[in-house]
Amino acid sequence: MTPSLDLVPRIVAGAVPAIGRLISRAEAGSAEARPALAEIYGRAGRAHIVGLTGVPGSGKSTLVATLTAHLRRGGQKVGVVAIDPSSPYSGGAILGDRIRMAEHVTDAGVYIRSMATRGTMGGMARAALDAVDILDVAGFDTVIIETVGVGQDEVEIARASHTTVVVSAPGLGDEIQAIKAGILEIADIHVVSKCDRSDANRTLTDLKQMLTLGALTTGRSEWRIPVIGLSAYKGEGFEALIGAIGDHRRVAFETEAGAQRRRAIARFRLEKTAENLLMERFLRKSGALSGPLAERLSARDGDPYSLANTLLEDALGPEAGGAGARS
Amino acid sequence: MTPSLDLVPRIVAGAVPAIGRLISRAEAGSAEARPALAEIYGRAGRAHIVGLTGVPGSGKSTLVATLTAHLRRGGQKVGVVAIDPSSPYSGGAILGDRIRMAEHVTDAGVYIRSMATRGTMGGMARAALDAVDILDVAGFDTVIIETVGVGQDEVEIARASHTTVVVSAPGLGDEIQAIKAGILEIADIHVVSKCDRSDANRTLTDLKQMLTLGALTTGRSEWRIPVIGLSAYKGEGFEALIGAIGDHRRVAFETEAGAQRRRAIARFRLEKTAENLLMERFLRKSGALSGPLAERLSARDGDPYSLANTLLEDALGPEAGGAGARS
């Protein structure tokens, strides 16, 4: 196996196999890759990171494909890190909607990576942000993090970007509308997809009204959140979206609010990485220990809290384990 | 504040205010509540726990409401623990679809509780399973855990039940179908909702075919997974579903496979509780420490891994912290 550190100069040169390999090692949580990822982090910081999220059925994947095409036409190299739901058994990412990206697969100016959501406990955010840095260092100008707008981890990752785009669509059911309500507040840019539909106007008006009422503008007075209607079918609205992303890039890189946001992202990343390392260590040490304790729990010889404390003490010692948890 | 231990006899007597209070304390992760939750755990084990999950738009909430009505008619007391998506800012559960449960709110034989998904890092699973036990001890015969079938945590919780019901619906978009693929394998019982629609037959046939091909039956040879068509609109299929749930209850409580499943649930619960206690302790200790380290990370004076190691060491000591994570 090529040592990860040897991959770094190849990544800097934009070599696709090296990019793929280091992302895979980051995703696997390989300790061997950490010095290389540290090196990558030190060189990153140039790319514009765009988080793109929306509920299932909002037309997110079509938007990513079209947006990529438009950015390419403007001469940019575009990276996409897509966080996909994964099967609890197979552990594999579902690549269904990646098919829509097929037009880009032969274009060296586009790199698309699907990541599974299996690495919970902070691992998904850590790996996704490592992947973004790798693409940044490899010379991609815009890196899109695409996540489904359901699940707290997914929403948090979409926020850990310079510019967050939230996609809404007309005519979704109640349940999806309710989920949507949870992600509207994170948008720097609102997009309403499927604007060739007659009911799209209602969605546009609703969003604009919420913005006018100040419901969705938490602490971002230096930026007027736009609401952009898109139709992938008619090819309308994409210039406006590209323009808004460019405008917000300036806010992100040239204002105090942008600097503050980058500090918040750094803090999120630090905490997620720490949580992930801690959980990794715990799981590595607890694996062999939890079976007998689970038997006791199953037999109701002990309760979840006291047995969990025992497991923590056995795995990590009294300081990090039970004693502290009891305090 | 009433000490949590004093709530236990009231919960045993079925007092609704006591039930609500202890669930709230479990949800908040209150350390004071742990002896009471331990006591509850020791008394629980009688209720049939039914996990019910499906993608957004599958008609899950309508199904829970109708299922509840049917179980009530059979004389059972029914508890529902619904895991709802939450806003990243407001932290509140979205209660939109609870409206469909309105017919049950004045019925003392039904208890419905929405829980937010905010407590990630294992906290959601821990709190949901504590809530299930509280309802169990309070005399509810069937406790339904309803989760949206997106997000690994949500799917894992639906699996942590005696009987897992997965709801599919005809006519959902590609993106939702892809997500659905990830949850089909966890079903003990498949339900296809909206069977008054003409395209429902296709969904039924697809599921049956997958089952015939052995694609969805991982290690459950003692139970033939049924596929049940439902129409809430026409009121059809619910008797068959109640029958199947009853049949699977016998598998869960009276067979070796059922005992094995209960042991697996105990292990899941032990590990989730331990992860949650560990993460709680880390976050409590790291809060004040992470600001300055995040500043360094933001300035690229250090990389995420080494600064995360420093944070772990500072918060939990070298054993649980950096030293181990480096090994």
HSE-up of residue B78 (Cα within 13 Å, Cβ side) = 26
Q: What is the average pLDDT score of chain A? A: 84
Which tens digit of pLDDT belongs to each residue from B239-287? 999 999 999 999 999 999 999 999 999 999 999 999 989 988 898 888 8
Q: In whole angstroms, what is the distance from residue B254 CA to residue A31 CA?
A: 45
Q: Name the band, by pLDDT with cuts 50, 70 and 90, for residue B95.
A: very low
Query: What's the one-letter identity of residue B35?
Result: P
Q: Is the pLDDT of residue A233 over 50?
A: yes
Question: What number of C-beta contacts closer than 8 Å exist between A and B?
Answer: 307
Burial of A204 (0-12, 13-18, 19+ CB in 10 A): middle
- Does CATH place domain B44-254 in 3.30.70.100? no
- Beta pairing, strands B48-54 & B163-168: parallel
Find the range with the poorest average confidence among B7-11, B25-29, B60-64, B261-265.
B60-64
CB A274 within 8 A of CB B294: no
- pLDDT at position A123: 83
* Residues A281, B311: C-beta atoms closer than 8 Å: no
- What residue segments make up the domains of chain B, in order of their start? 44-254, 282-326
Query: What's the one-letter identity of residue A247?
Result: D
Find the range with the poorest average confidence among A10-19, A101-110, A260-269, A289-298.
A101-110
Q: Is the pLDDT of residue A295 over 90?
A: yes
Q: What is the largest CA-CA distance in chain B?
A: 66
pLDDT average, residue stretch B213-227: 73
pLDDT average, residue stretch B61-68: 88
pLDDT average, residue stretch B33-41: 96
* Residues B267, A290: C-beta atoms closer than 8 Å: yes
| Residue A25 phi, psi dihedral angles, 5° rounding | -70, -35
**Which residues neighbour A270 within 8 Å (Cβ) at sequence distance 6 or greater?**
B290, B293, B294, B297, B304, B307, B308, B311
* Residues A303, B41: C-beta atoms closer than 8 Å: yes
* Residues A150, B85: C-beta atoms closer than 8 Å: yes
Residue B255 three-state SS: coil
CB B193 within 8 A of CB B230: yes
Most confident of A51-60, A120-129, A218-227, B29-38: B29-38
pLDDT average, residue stretch B152-168: 86
Q: Is the pLDDT of residue B100 over 90?
A: no
pLDDT average, residue stretch A132-148: 95
Cβ neighbours of B126 in A, within 8 Å: 304
Closest CA to B56 of A195, A95, A148, A84: A148
Is A280 in CB contact (< 8 Å) with chain B?
yes
Which tens digit of pLDDT belongs to each residue from A46-68? 999 999 998 777 888 888 888 99
Q: Is the pLDDT of residue A101 over 70?
A: no
* Residues B274, A312: C-beta atoms closer than 8 Å: yes
Q: Is the pLDDT of residue B132 over 90?
A: yes
CB A104 within 8 A of CB A110: yes
Q: Name the band, by pLDDT with cuts 50, 70 and 90, for residue A234.
A: confident
pLDDT average, residue stretch B219-231: 83
CB B113 within 8 A of CB B131: yes
Q: Is the pLDDT of residue A197 over 60?
A: yes
Is B288 in CB contact (< 8 Å) with chain A?
no
**How many Cβ atoms sit within 10 Å of the Cβ of residue B198?**
9
Q: Name the band, by pLDDT with cuts 50, 70 and 90, for residue A221.
A: low
Q: Name the band, by pLDDT with cuts 50, 70 and 90, for residue B326.
A: very low
- pLDDT at position A75: 94
Q: What is the ipTM of this complex?
A: 0.86
Which tens digit of pLDDT belongs to each residue from B161-212? 999 999 988 877 655 665 666 678 889 999 999 999 988 998 898 888 888 8
Q: In whole angstroms, what is the distance from residue A134 CA to residue B304 CA?
A: 14
Q: Name the band, by pLDDT with cuts 50, 70 and 90, for residue B321.
A: low
- pLDDT at position B65: 87
**Which residues neighbour A325 within 8 Å (Cβ) at sequence distance 6 or greater?**
A308, A309, A312, B277, B278, B280, B281
- pLDDT at position B118: 58
Q: Where are the beta strands (DSSP E) in chain A?
A: 48-54, 78-84, 110-116, 142-148, 163-168, 189-192, 227-229
Cβ neighbours of A150 in B, within 8 Å: 56, 85, 148, 150-151
Q: Name the band, by pLDDT with cuts 50, 70 and 90, for residue A21.
A: very high
Q: What is the b/e burial string over A15-27, where b = at least 16 CB atoms within 10 angstroms of the residue's CB?
A: eeebbebbbebbb
Q: How far is B22 from chain A (nearest CA, A)?
A: 15
- Closest partner residue to A185 (CB to CB) among B89, B319, B326 is B89
Q: Is the pLDDT of residue A29 over 70?
A: yes
- pLDDT at position B32: 94
Q: Name the band, by pLDDT with cuts 50, 70 and 90, for residue A219.
A: low
* Residues A152, B117: C-beta atoms closer than 8 Å: yes
Q: Is the pLDDT of residue B91 over 90?
A: no
